[in-house]
Amino acid sequence: DTEVTQTPKHLVMGMTNKKSLKCEQHMGHRAMYWYKQKAKKPPELMFVYSYEKLSINESVPSRFSPECPNSSLLNLHLHALQPEDSALYLCASSHPTGFGLNTEAFFGQGTRLTVV
Applying CB under 8 A, which residues contact another protein?
2, 4, 6, 31, 33, 41-45, 48, 50, 55-56, 88, 90, 92, 94, 96-98, 101-110, 112
d(CA 20, CA 69): 13
Of 4 and 81, which has the nearer Cβ to another protein? 4
Of 19 and 112, which has the nearer Cβ to another protein? 112
Paired with 78 in beta bridges are 19, 64
Of 7 and 55, which has the nearer Cβ to another protein? 55
State in angstroms the smallest separation of the CB of 4 from another protein.
Answer: 8
Under 8 Å CB-to-CB from 34, ≥6 apart: which residues?
A: 23, 45, 46, 47, 64, 66, 74, 76, 89, 90, 91
